[in-house]
A and B are shown apart, each in its own frame.
Chain A
Amino acid sequence: MKIVETPAGLCANHSKVYDKVKDAYPLWSAAYGSLTTEDFLKRLVALPETGDRVREMAQFLIRNPEKWK
């Protein structure tokens, strides 16, 4: 079995999602001009298009803002 090093507290699957969410933020920010990370995450949670795992990650980051590095 392959051992993958991930950011503290995240499994390999959620670590991948974490990166995706982080990568999307600059796109959102540029699209709206300016956008706080909290607004970005709240909007992600509310959208029906958002994947289930991404929604979980967004909710997690809203609850634990210190994890957003």
Chain B
Amino acid sequence: MHSKGRSSRRSYPVWDYHWAPKHLVDRASAGLARWVQVIGSIATNVDRYINACDYDLEGSVIGHTILQYACNGAHTKALRMKFSTMTERELRFAFQKLDSKTELPLVDAGKCRHELDWLYGINLSRLLTESALRQGRGYATLSTGRVQGPTLGFVVEREEEISCFVPVPFWTIEATIVHDDKTYSLEYEKDKITSKAKAKSVCDECKDVLLDVKAIESREIQQYPPYPFDLSSLQSEAYRYFGYSPARTLASAERLYLDALISYPRTSSQKLPPDIGYAEILGGIASCTAYQRLVAKLMTRGYLRPNNGPKNDPAHPAIFPTGESPKRPLSGGEAKLYDLISRRFMATFADSSLKTSSRIILTHNNHRFFLSGSRVIKMGWIEYYRPYTLDDARPLPDFRIGDRAKIQGIKTVEKFTQPPHRYNPSSLLKKMEDANIGTKATRAGIIDLLYARGYVREERMSASDLAGEVTDTLSTYCPLIIDSSFTANLENLMQGIQNGTASRRGVLVEALDHLRPIMLALAENEEEIGSQLSDVIVTQRAEDVTFDTSCPKCGLKLAVVRSRGSGKRFIGCNGKWQTGCNFTLPLPQFGNLTLLKRRCSACGFQMVQARSRGRRPLVSCPRCYATKAREVKPGSSKSKIPIQIPREALAAT
């Protein structure tokens, strides 16, 4: 996308634009010209053009524009190759079944998404950045957009709830009984008692008493096998078991797809159609010894029927292993993800599991206590999906109605109501999906962007003051921008383009009608907006680099400093210019650095986090790292230090 005319990159609002090859309009992308030239030279004198890019919105737009600009307008006559795995068998099959039907609605929907994102993103982000910059207090990239705005809104709203949370006390009763030399914990009938006096009276009345077993309730719970993975459920499960961010899971899954080990991961389907060949895939994954026994057991069932979920994606099935053997050793993350996908695939064909959930009711006068437990009667799919299942089996004592048990210990425990949980990358992704904002391909990137802009910090996402100010500004002057229902409505309109019920032009006109008055209102208040934002930027800039832990040598503040000579960053003491203090500590050199509130359990120093795109955040204690670095001689083969840490920092520690 490129704005028409001679407007600079800093001017706004921008309404006139056109599609153009990037290398023709962006000097920094001039290198792309060579690629276009190579594709163009290969594409001369060919008998037919086949678009074999990923079969989805983004893939279709990419293929379409390459054919249009690099292949001399071949997009009008190109055929479409549709496939979901990179296996030779499916590629050959797809090549024989080329689709000549135009995919213009899909391309139009994809282009419309780009245009809307560009119009909203460019105009609002430029306004925020420029209004703050014009205050003359330094530059900071501020951004917002059609999806980013509401997503940040979720985090800020949660931060607001936490910040305004008033805890209220309540009490619980903790009691135990002993039966056959085993201690069992009892639950009191009320899980919260709102008065200290009432809780104490329960304790006094039940101290050392004999409880009567009044009833034993038991019911069987059938747990159906899990649905096949769509991208969001894979990202959520990978976060739960491995702690991988959604972006990292997507990156690893894409590598597995390119190696033809799994199907196309950017799918929202939870269905596995029969034509993928269940038995063949299972036969393939059985070549791995870890799955051999499980596959053999599954094959004895006589029929294979997956427990398909409700979500559908017309372009691709749910994520499944192809059954191909890896041609290279898989890295740790990829191997774990492949194992998760393979086990999930097997589990979805297995029987339901059966559990018995029991509750023994014990009474004393008007007081009732419960003893709850469960046990697995039939493993079913759990056997296939282990270790990615929670083992919540709890055995119960062998009681009968009329039996008696003496309370061994009983006490009241004072507790307080808890504030709502902060979002983590996985739960925020789920929230975006539930609110229908963004696409499966872009959500993880948007979350990473919130970190990169300094809007959120830490794994349990806390909104920075800057995020609060940006959201506050937008909600004051254009509340619709952070309203997720507005963005969801645009998503539906774009879906309409794909289905043929809406036109690209119509959607754009509607969006522009909405955006124009917003931009006018914002531009009118530019001075005020800029002043508010720049105040927070200056404060946050200082906070972002200043440690809470004071200098152990002189007691003044420690801060992140960048070496003028090498450009590397390290921790230096603010007292350098006042007292001549030369205390320094090393810092990781890569990724966005955040000073965490968390303290090191070993030395109490403030921890830091380095976050790189698509990678797990590196959390470390600079002081412990420096101590270890000194223990390993710099320059020795075991040393990991010289590349990572600036020499200035090591010399002074």
Contact = CB atoms under 8 A, between A and B. Distances in A.
- Decide if A and B are genuine partners: yes
Interface of A: 1, 16-17, 20-21, 23-24, 27-28, 30-33, 44, 47, 49-54
A51 B164 contact: yes
A31 B167 CA distance: 12
Interface in B111-161: none
A47 B168 contact: no
A33 B196 contact: yes
B169 A28 contact: yes
A49 to B, nearest CB: 4
Contacts of A27: 168, 194
B167 A49 contact: yes
Contact of A51 (B168, B169, B419): B419
Interface of B: 162-170, 194-197, 416-419, 476
Contacts of B416: 47, 49
Contacts, number: 53
Contacts of B168: 24, 27-28, 31
Contacts of A54: 163-166
Q: 6 shortest A-B CB distances, which residue pairs?
A: A51-B165, A49-B167, A24-B166, A51-B163, A53-B163, A31-B169
B167 A16 contact: no
A44 B167 CA distance: 8
7 contacts: A27-B194, A28-B168, A30-B195, A31-B168, A51-B165, A51-B166, A51-B419
Nearest to B472: A13
Contacts of B417: 49
Most chain A beta carbons < 10 A, residue from B162, B167, B419:
B167
> Which of A21, A32, A47, A49 is packed against the most chain B CB atoms within 10 Å?
A49
Contact of A31 (B164, B194, B418, B476): B194
B166 A50 contact: yes
A37 B195 CA distance: 18
Contact of B162 (A24, A30, A44, A51): A51
B461 to A, nearest CB: 16
A12 to B, nearest CB: 11
A32 B194 CA distance: 9
A21 B170 contact: no
A31 B170 contact: yes
Nearest to A33: B197
Nearest to B194: A31
Contacts of A47: 167, 416
A50 B167 contact: yes
A16 B195 CA distance: 26
A32 B418 contact: no
Nearest to B528: A1
A1 B476 CA distance: 7
Contacts of B197: 33
A21 B169 contact: no
B520 to A, nearest CB: 16
B319 to A, nearest CB: 40
| Residue among B165, B416, B417 with max Cβ neighbours from chain A (10 Å) | B165
A52 B194 contact: no
A30 B169 CA distance: 10
A40 B631 CA distance: 51
A31 B168 CA distance: 9
A36 to B, nearest CB: 15
Contacts of A32: 169, 196
Contacts of A17: 164
Nearest to A54: B166
B164 A16 contact: yes
Contacts of B164: 16-17, 20, 51, 53-54
Which has the most chain B C-beta neighbours within 10 Å: A47, A50, A51, A54? A51
B562 to A, nearest CB: 30
Contacts of B167: 44, 47, 49-50
A31 B195 CA distance: 4
A30 B167 CA distance: 14
Contacts of A16: 164
